[in-house]
Amino acid sequence: MSADRRNARVGARFGAAAARYDDHAPAQRITAQRLADAIGRLPLPPRPRILEIGCGTGLLTQALAARLGPADWTVTDISPAMLARAQEGPALPGAARYQVLDGEHPRDLPGGYDLICSSLAVQWFADLNGGLGRLAGLLAPGGHLAVATLAEGTFAEWRAAHDAAGATAATPAYPPSGAIRPAMADLAGGVHSERLIQDHPDGLHFLKALKGIGATTPAPGTAPLGAAALRRVLAQFDKQGATVTYHLAYGIWKNMTDSPAQGVFVTGTDTGIGKTLVSAILARAWQADYWKPVQTGVAEEPGDTETVARLAQLPPERLHLPAYVLQAPLSPWAAAPLEDAEIDATAIVPPVTRAPLIVEGAGGLYVPIDDSHMMIDLIARLGMPVVLAARSGLGTINHTLLSLEALRRRAIPVLGVIMSGPLSAGNREAIERFGNVRVLAEIPPQDRVDAAAVEALARTVPPLAECLAAMRAAG
């Protein structure tokens, strides 16, 4: 069967289910809400241009409208009946158009979208990564592609029942989460996964639920079971407990095309992790400027700007004053009221520089800056790739992988990790393998931390251009 015929068949079956879809779609509703939550944390511009692929009855559309407010919406689906149901929903804030579209092969679209999104639709693409790549090609510079799809292991219980009954399941074979990546260069981001377990009274209820949402098109090369074989499978499935697992993959990528490599943001897995030393080493290695947007704790020790200037031997013109300086060694949010100061994270604007800029954060990713924003929000808004400072010792695998996961959920590109402390080949290997990230350098304990030590350590750091190229190639 040709791809066009299969797509038409998929659209027809979903269209036939449009009237009753919402009654059978608890997993789809949960997934749309979680994807909308993730999108709501992205640094989108005011009134963004949004393209939605496979809107169905509008579960994701309405969830986004509640979070994003006015936008320029292009809402699409391959099924005219589904599109009509979505259009019957509450009016979208801003300008909205509805269009029948094969999302895998989008044609006659203007491009330049700030957000292209899809919830549980792209798994029907014949070539998932190719289709995602074509969609990513429609993004504006700095735009985001955000999708929820099904990954390997979905409906494993149903497949196991087929195997036990000597039958072949007609459900599609979904890819591993790690294999999902748009076929396009200059994207940064990644995929995170979760499981959603759904209990059914029996196998017939499960099949009726699939029919209720129109998800009944068999995988290519398979055919529906005959009556006798289906009875054997249902009996085995009921014996197993009539439970199915959705392995959900949430992918968020940012279009880095035409995005200037203006520098990096140095953050850490914790406070006191060595971010300032890392910043000094990078400033020296890459002949970069240095800026700490928010400095706290100056009542007890010199500011980090002075420390980096001394260690990296930076001249005054390559140092940039903090936007806020606070006395107490607390989070900015906690320190500011003690001085009757007010911090507005949205007013923090990086300096214009000719050289790359090293930006050092305060504390870790979830340190609060003001009443509404944490450090990770500032990182996302500045749009710079991250260098994550981590310890080398016990506990670092968990802390580092959690920080990497938090960054990738926000589609914040990660340039790499720098580890400080006694060398640990095992911890380095675990972080690189399970974090899908490069360890750029390791900083062993130093007898003396001075300009000479920083100069020597800077020589171990790869060039910035090489790091950026590797980050983009890894996706």
Given this model, what pLDDT does residue 19 score?
A: 64
Active-site positions read 292
* pLDDT tens-digit map of 52-69: 999 999 999 999 999 999
Domain boundaries, the chain: 3-255, 264-474
Task: State mean pLDDT over 421-433.
Answer: 95
Q: Is 143 annotated as a binding residue?
A: no
Q: Is 431 annotated as a binding residue?
A: no
Given this model, what pLDDT does residue 172 score?
A: 86
- How confident is residue 16, by pLDDT bands cut at 50, 70 and 90? low
The set of residues, in sequence order, having a beta carbon less than 8 Å from that of 232 and lying 6+ positions away, is: 165, 166, 167
- How confident is residue 215, by pLDDT bands cut at 50, 70 and 90? low
- How confident is residue 354, by pLDDT bands cut at 50, 70 and 90? confident
- How confident is residue 351, by pLDDT bands cut at 50, 70 and 90? confident
Fold of 264-474: Rossmann fold (3.40.50)
Given this model, what pLDDT does residue 1 score?
A: 46
* pLDDT tens-digit map of 398-415: 999 999 999 988 889 899
Same fold, 3-255 and 264-474: yes
Q: Is 274 annotated as a binding residue?
A: yes
* Cα 385 from chain centre: 13
Task: State mean pLDDT over 81-105.
Answer: 95
Above 90 in pLDDT, residue 374? yes
DSSP 260-324: ---EEEEEESSTTSSHHHHHHHHHHHTT-EEE-SEE--TTTS--HHHHHHHHHT--GGGEE--SE
- How confident is residue 170, by pLDDT bands cut at 50, 70 and 90? confident
The set of residues, in sequence order, having a beta carbon less than 8 Å from that of 390 and lying 6+ positions away, is: 268, 269, 273, 396, 399, 400, 403, 417, 418, 419, 420, 431
Q: Is 239 annotated as a binding residue?
A: no
- How confident is residue 217, by pLDDT bands cut at 50, 70 and 90? low
CATH fit for domain 3-255, picks 3.40.1080.20, 3.40.190.80, 3.40.50.150, 3.30.465.10: 3.40.50.150
Q: Is 296 annotated as a binding residue?
A: yes
